[in-house]
Amino acid sequence: MKKSIAYLIIIMFASSNALISQIDFGVKMGVHSFDLSNPKDIILPNDESIKFTEAELGFQGGIYAKFKLGAVSLEPRLMLNTTSVKYTFNGDNGGIFDNIKEESFTNLDIPVLFGFNVLMVNALIGPVAHLNLNSTSDLFDISGYDERFKTATYGFRLGFCIGLGNVELGLEYEGNFSEFGDHINIGGQSFSFDDNPSRLIFNIGIPIF
């Protein structure tokens, strides 16, 4: 009986060591673009308009854990990202001049990606949640403007990563299920620019242990 218990303990210890050896923890950092597939202008009741103009290159950084079992992996992440966009507001000064308004967001992204190893490439797919942490906006200059962010918005990611020594290089596409700009509220009415905001993300992953 004692030998059986000893063998069981040895097997459990060996199994736990094998499992732990298949877990990586590390940091990721990178850049992302932001794109609207078919942006439309926001026309206000007084014939003023807000037009999406452009988005600057955004930055991201955070931590990840990768649980590996053979050719399959599960990778949850906690990533902070910043995005800055510009709008053209037509309406001040009697509509004679266009005014550039800027807006910046800081979000906490929580992707949970499933990976599948194919030769040297790890294909990735999974859901992602976005939590808005902070924002600054020149749109507050517009009379009646207010921001009403949702608690969380959701989307999906798909892409791939390649290991080069102890470094992982990844390229991912992100689509979202919420409308971009639906946080904009003017005079009690909500607006949006596009139904399908997307991002192209390039990141570098460095395992710590």
The predicted pLDDT at position 40 comes to 87
Structure tokens at 143: 């009379």
Q: In the chain, what are the domains?
A: 23-207 (2.40.160.20)
Q: Residue 105: which of 1, 191, 200, 32 has the closest Cα?
A: 32
Q: Considering the entire predicted model, what is its pTM?
A: 0.83
Mean pLDDT by 10 residues, the chain (209 residues): 47 47 90 90 83 93 94 96 92 62 95 92 96 91 84 94 93 93 82 86 93
The predicted pLDDT at position 151 comes to 85
> Helix or strand or coil: residue 43?
strand
How remote is the C-alpha of 179 from its chain's centroid?
15
Q: Which long-range contacts (CB under 8 A, 24 or more apart) does 189-194 make?
A: 189/45, 190/148, 191/42, 191/50, 192/42, 193/36, 193/39, 193/40, 193/42, 193/52, 194/36, 194/37, 194/38, 194/39, 194/40, 194/52
The predicted pLDDT at position 9 comes to 43
